[in-house]
Structure 1
């Protein structure tokens, strides 16, 4: 009997997550685990040819080998560039003033 790896394949959406435990042969790759999980059948919006995937939060190619108890993660595409989102939050805070600044102003106006 050949050695088997226990792998968890994960895909998260806003408000829900899918975790599928699979057993794959030793030497299996990220793609092998994803295929064994049949997660793409459950979530047809996943496009493996363009999706980013990783193991425990670190990006990995589909042909990366797995180790026992690895967690394979399929990442959704970003809706907004993180740098742009952060800049928008900073701009909003500057327009509205920070909470600390408002507390300071309210104490001064007593």
Structure 2
């Protein structure tokens, strides 16, 4: 039972952080809120996870949660990669603009 209180506290902190940091993307904040709300339900009613898993064709609730974790992690990794790539392109454009605005002769 102690783990239920620990996980509940953790998910509440994650929810509060999502609300506080939701200025960037409302969709991500909504996804975090829905995900943590669902997690709280499964923490307090673990048999419900098994019921949902059976209806999805998965043997155990723990397996379903693991599959969902992999899917969400994959989406987050792809999103982070695309963001890093876009930021890298922006830095390159800014460096070019600075180089063209302040030309220097090479030292001989």
TM-score of the superposed pair, with normalisation by structure 1: 0.30
Higher share in strand: 1
Could you say which structure has the greater relative contact order, defined with CA pairs below 8 angstroms and 6 or more residues apart?
Answer: 1
TM-score of the superposed pair, with normalisation by structure 2: 0.30
